[in-house]
Amino acid sequence: MNQTLKSFLKFLGLLLVVAFLGWYIGFLTQVSDIQTLNKTNNQASAPVRMFPEPQDPKTVDFKWEYQKRPYDLKLTLYKSVYDFYSTSPKDYTYYETLPPNWEEDYYGMFLKVNPQDKTIPDLADQLKSLGARNRLSPDKIVELTTAFVQSIPYDDQRARKIEQNSPEEKPNYPYELLYQQKGVCSDKTFLLYSLLRQMGYGTALFEYKQEKHIAVGIKCPAEDSTYNSGYCYTETTQPGHKIGVVPDISPDTNIGIVKKELGTFDSTAQQQENTLKLGQVAIYQKTDGESYNGIVQTIKTQAQMDTLEKDIADLKQALTPQKDELDGEKKAIDDLSTKMSDLKKSKDIAGYNSLVPQYNNLVTAYKQKAGAYNQKVNTYNQKVAQYNQLIKQFYQ
């Protein structure tokens, strides 16, 4: 090989080494940039989507009741905007490891305000105007708004799919709920949260992971707040729920159960509804703002109802075995009376007379027990009447 060719090959090898080093340094820089991005922003950034022009309008009419008075309002919604939200991200994505506070970011996706979407501000203004026209106080306007969201039909079919861990079922954005005019607890919670926040109130989310339930928290006096959190629990799943009262829920549909009037002890036994108590709570998306102060009377009435409920339950526990015992003694008296009647018909006077003392003793003992039992039944029914009166006032 001549000297010229050797020099050329040596030069070519040097160029390849320099090129490789340049590529390798660039690769390391790219990896470093990615790692820096992962450290500073664990959540994957969704692509920027343009808010659509409003197309294909439809008017949605909402009707509901608050304090036994009818209310209604109309909204103009658009299919193009509905499609925008229905195709928006509903899964939380992240790089590397799941951040410890990922729930904050996840719920923030559904509560984020799009500056081009005036639906929530316009709806909040309508609700405030309705309240002002009916001379409602700020606290009453909060309750009116809560009643509006509670009145939107609950989507039982979707709720059951969520309970069955169906991967297709995701929470809906508030616009989707308004457009469809139905939703589950998460959908309705996001809507009420958004409306109250728009009205200037402090808000939060109460999540019960074990029970797959979620509710709104509205800022209220700390001493009266739920879990001493500074926020009062607000159930959205159906009408009648009071701000500040944590209900039992249906294990099948996750609907909060509204307390009902009770029957007297002697009435036909009422079928017990299967209920589930809410357990451990996590609180997310806390915001500061105005406070709801209508909680004081609710707490007072709720305490009276809780006391009566306990008294009624204790009395029922005592009365039920007493009733069974008295029914057994009454049957024994009736059986003995029938036997004595047969002896009398057969003119067996001696046999008849031999049973008279036993019969009289049974009747005397029965009357004494029945007297004490009836007094307890009267007490039970009086407490039920008091409880039912409170129910009527509480849920009016």
Residues 162-185 pLDDT 10s: 777 777 778 999 999 999 999 999
What range does the domain containing 25 cover? 1-40
Grade residue 40 by pLDDT with cuts at 50, 70 and 90. very low
Do 181 and 131 lie in a common domain? yes
Do 231 and 185 lie in a common domain? yes
Residue 285 clears pLDDT 90, i.e. is over it: yes
Mean pLDDT score of the chain, rounded to an integer?
86
Do 343 and 267 lie in a common domain? no
pLDDT: is 17 or 260 the higher one?
A: 260
Do 180 and 259 lie in a common domain? yes
**Token output for 215:** 């509710």
Name the domain boundary from 225, 258, 293. 293
Q: How far is CA 158 from the centre of its chain?
A: 15
In a domain, 285, yes or no: yes
In a domain, 45, yes or no: no
Q: Name residues whose C-beta falls within 8 Å of residue 377's C-beta, 6 or more positions apart in sequence.
A: 265, 266, 319
Residue 12 clears pLDDT 60, i.e. is over it: no
65-74, 251-260, 285-294, range with the lowest pLDDT: 251-260
Do 279 and 353 lie in a common domain? no
In a domain, 162, yes or no: yes
Residue 35 clears pLDDT 50, i.e. is over it: no
Spatial distance between the Cα atoms of 323 and 332, rounded to a whole number of angstroms: 14
Maximum mean pLDDT: which of 95-99, 238-242, 317-321, 392-396: 238-242
Count the helix, strand and coil residues of the chain and give each as a percent rounded to the nearest 5.
Answer: 55, 10, 35
| First-residue to last-residue Cα distance in the chain | 105
Which of the 8 DSSP states describes residue 69?
E
**Token output for 40:** 């500073």
Residue 48 clears pLDDT 70, i.e. is over it: no
Residue 113: count of CB within 10 angstroms of its CB:
11
Backbone angles phi, psi at 114, to 5 degrees: -85, 120
Spatial distance between the Cα atoms of 226 and 291, rounded to a whole number of angstroms: 14
Name the domain boundary from 264, 293, 322. 293
What is the total count of domains within the chain? 3
Do 240 and 338 lie in a common domain? no
Do 316 and 240 lie in a common domain? no
Do 113 and 14 lie in a common domain? no
In a domain, 241, yes or no: yes
Do 15 and 104 lie in a common domain? no
In a domain, 213, yes or no: yes
In a domain, 49, yes or no: no
In a domain, 47, yes or no: no
Minimal CA–CA distance to 76: which of 92, 54, 105?
Answer: 54
**Cα distances (Å, whole numbers) of residue 79 to 36, 177, 180, 210:** 40, 13, 11, 35
Do 194 and 332 lie in a common domain? no
Do 288 and 322 lie in a common domain? no
Spatial distance between the Cα atoms of 137 and 143, rounded to a whole number of angstroms: 10
17-26, 165-174, 312-321, range with the lowest pLDDT: 17-26
In a domain, 133, yes or no: yes
Do 286 and 156 lie in a common domain? yes
Spatial distance between the Cα atoms of 176 and 169, rounded to a whole number of angstroms: 13
